[in-house]
Structure 1
């Protein structure tokens, strides 16, 4: 009768004795330094974990024509206030030029600019974004995203494409809400009457 594989293994290993623990070789306890690629992976993972406070959308947007006017008004904004903005009758307090900026850079710059202006009591802005005739692969990409982004920012009351003297459809007037300090000052002024 033939032996099974297990029986053959046990028969061949019958004279083998296990090593005693004191006969084991001691491994070096030197800690290996991480490689450059491991450091890069760790850095990338840490950056993913940081929370991006910029809530401006990066999703698909309906594209505007380069010569389209941009206009938006939140509910509650008085028609006279919007008309005055639309006609460029407010003093422009701050201007930013987003011409030629890449998508992510323009998104970050616009977000930080609006929050900074709001925190510093600046209410009327002029955004220079261009009409986007030369943008690739399709025209007016940045202009279309700015139209969407401005509607997403709660501090923006209304906006409208600028007059020709301020850049026409390649620029936009923006009116921001009053910050808490301005609201308090307004209440004090009207309380004294």
Structure 2
């Protein structure tokens, strides 16, 4: 800055200029904390609450049968599923789990079964007779399976395989 520019600058802002004092920054020491995904965690919690509330809508009773068929499931496969004539490649027992862990384990199981190309699996959910009058795990399984893209159909198992306390599931094969 030449003398003329400095003179013009001082005229424009005045002579009451003082330099800003330098204040040292505090040392943080160590690694920065890892950011949390608060909104994602909150969304998950909200979805779980809404899901729980939805379990009581059209609730399935302890002895009610579960049944769902996607249009892509051929009728011959559907009839075999209902009779328990499909070969079960893997099974999952949800007894002794509470609702949240059961939902997580069910999702992991179905993803694994699809990766392993298991066409038919069995999930034992129980009838809910040990719960407080409402078979929450059975209802969660019913609702969850209906909304999973890898599920082509499901039906309560024959009596010899668990009856109304278990469900046979036909999965899409992974391409």
Instruction: Indicate the TM-score class for this superposition, using the shorter chain for normalisation.
Output: 0.7 to 0.9
Counterpart in the other structure of 1:146: 141
Q: 2:155 aligns with which of 160, 172, 180?
A: 160
Deviations 1:162-193 (Å, cap 9, x if unpaired)?
Answer: 0111111000000011221xxxxxxxxxxxxx
Counterpart in the other structure of 1:118: 114
Which residues in structure 2 correspond to 1:41-120 (within 5 Å)? Answer: 45-46=36-37, 48-49=39-40, 58-59=51-52, 60-61=54-55, 62=57, 63-120=59-116
SS of the aligned residue for 2:51 comes to coil
Instruction: Give the TM-score, by structure 1 length.
Output: 0.67
Superposed displacement of residue 48, structure 1: 4.6
Superposed displacement of residue 85, structure 1: 0.9
Cα distance in 1 between the residues matched to 2:82 and 2:154? 8
- Residues 21 and 112 (structure 1), Cα distance of their counterparts in 2 relative to 1, 3 Å cut: same
Cα distance in 2 between the residues matched to 1:66 and 1:102? 16
Superposed displacement of residue 28, structure 1: 6.1
Q: Which runs of 5+ in 1 are unaligned?
A: 1-19, 181-193
Cα distance in 2 between the residues matched to 1:146 and 1:123? 18
Cα distance in 2 between the residues matched to 1:109 and 1:81? 26
Cα distance in 1 between the residues matched to 2:19 and 2:135? 74
Q: Which runs of 5+ in 2 are unaligned?
A: 1-17
Superposed displacement of residue 29, structure 1: 4.5
Instruction: Give the TM-score, by structure 2 length.
Output: 0.73
Superposed displacement of residue 30, structure 1: 4.2
Superposed displacement of residue 33, structure 1: 6.5
SS of the aligned residue for 1:72 comes to strand
Cα distance in 2 between the residues matched to 1:33 and 1:133? 55
SS of the aligned residue for 2:153 comes to strand
Q: 2:127 aligns with which of 114, 127, 131?
A: 131
